[in-house]
Amino acid sequence: MLLVNCGFYRADFAGTQFHTHSYYQLHYIIDGKGHYELSKKKKIKVSPNSFFIIFPEEAHRIVLHNRNKPLVEYLIGCRFNGDCSFIQGFFDNELRKERVLRGIKISRQFFEGIRHQLQSQDTHICQSAFLRLFSRISGMYGSSREMEYSTTIEDALIAMHDKIEEKLDLNELCNQLAISKCHFIRKFKKYTGLPPMRYFMYLKMETAKVILTQSNMSLSEIAQKLEFADAFHFSKHFKKVTGSSPSDFRSSV
């Protein structure tokens, strides 16, 4: 998955010209009323708590119902690669059938948290956030077998973030998620592009980067905080993931 843009958007003009994008646009309306007019004269009426999607190369424009009341929304633009082919298939099929959902209450805190993670420079942190958002979206459209799997992956990602300063027992995690280990590994890799333990190591290293740049903690102290055997093992994993030693990384920022 490649993030194109992500942010808080305010449309405070009566209408825009028809235009297109080369990527998917996910819209969640917070305030205001209006409609998105599509190229074939089809209109998507939107109001607070509406969620809808604009597809790549689909001509559209915004029309406000009240010139004095802007349309306020969260907007996420994205493209997909082979690792996220299932998500793209869901967008192209399920979301095309039912373009807009109304009365969907998603807290601003959830979107702000997702937005913050989506803006991370690390692709795995970004993808983790998008998978959480996808799980929430897919849950709105029913509970097929694949949708259940997406919820399981979201739960796994949340557990990984919660245990970032601990060791992760994969067998214990699978027991908590009520899924077999082999099946979980296969599904996790399908959704994220990485096996779960490798993904977890990437999350640890992202945390290590923050500690290295925002504190004076020694490598031994960081190793202890993140549950590595010692500074040597921490440095070894850090260089394997990032391509540089912790000391070189710290001195370069």
What's the confidence (pLDDT) of residue 218?
95
Two structure tokens written together for 63: 């029309």
Per-residue pLDDT at 110: 73
Two tokens at 90?
């869901």
229 and 197 share a domain? no
pLDDT at 149: 62
Q: How far apart are CA 190 and CA 253, in angstroms?
A: 34
Confidence class for position 11, pLDDT limits 50, 70, 90: confident
Number of domains in the chain: 3
Enclosing domain of residue 175: 106-212
Residues 178 and 248 in one domain: no
62 and 124 together in one domain: no
**Do residues 201 and 224 share a domain?**
no
Cβ neighbours of 223 (radius 10 Å): 22
Residues 76, 32: Cα–Cα separation, whole Å: 18
pTM of the predicted protein model: 0.60
Residue 234: give its domain's CATH number: 1.10.10.60
Residue 111 neighbours by CB under 8 Å, 6+ apart: 28, 74
The CATH code of the domain that includes 99 is 2.60.120.10
Is the confidence at residue 209, as pLDDT, over 50? yes
* Res 44 pLDDT > 80: yes
Specify whether 84 is located in the same domain as 15.
yes
Determine contact, residues 81/10, Cβ cutoff 8 Å.
no
pLDDT at 64 over 60: yes
Task: List all residues 6 or more positions away from 170 whose beta carbon is below 8 Å from its beta carbon.
Answer: 181, 184, 196, 197
Using a pLDDT cut of 70, give the percent of the chain over it. Answer: 83
Average pLDDT, the chain: 82
CA distance 61 to 100: 16
Do residues 19 and 57 share a domain?
Answer: yes
Same-domain check for residues 112 and 207: yes
Residues 98 and 165 in one domain: no
The percent of residues above 90 in pLDDT, for the chain, comes to 26
Q: How far apart, in whole angstroms, are the C-alpha atoms of residue 138 and residue 144?
A: 9
Taking residues 156-169, report their average pLDDT: 88
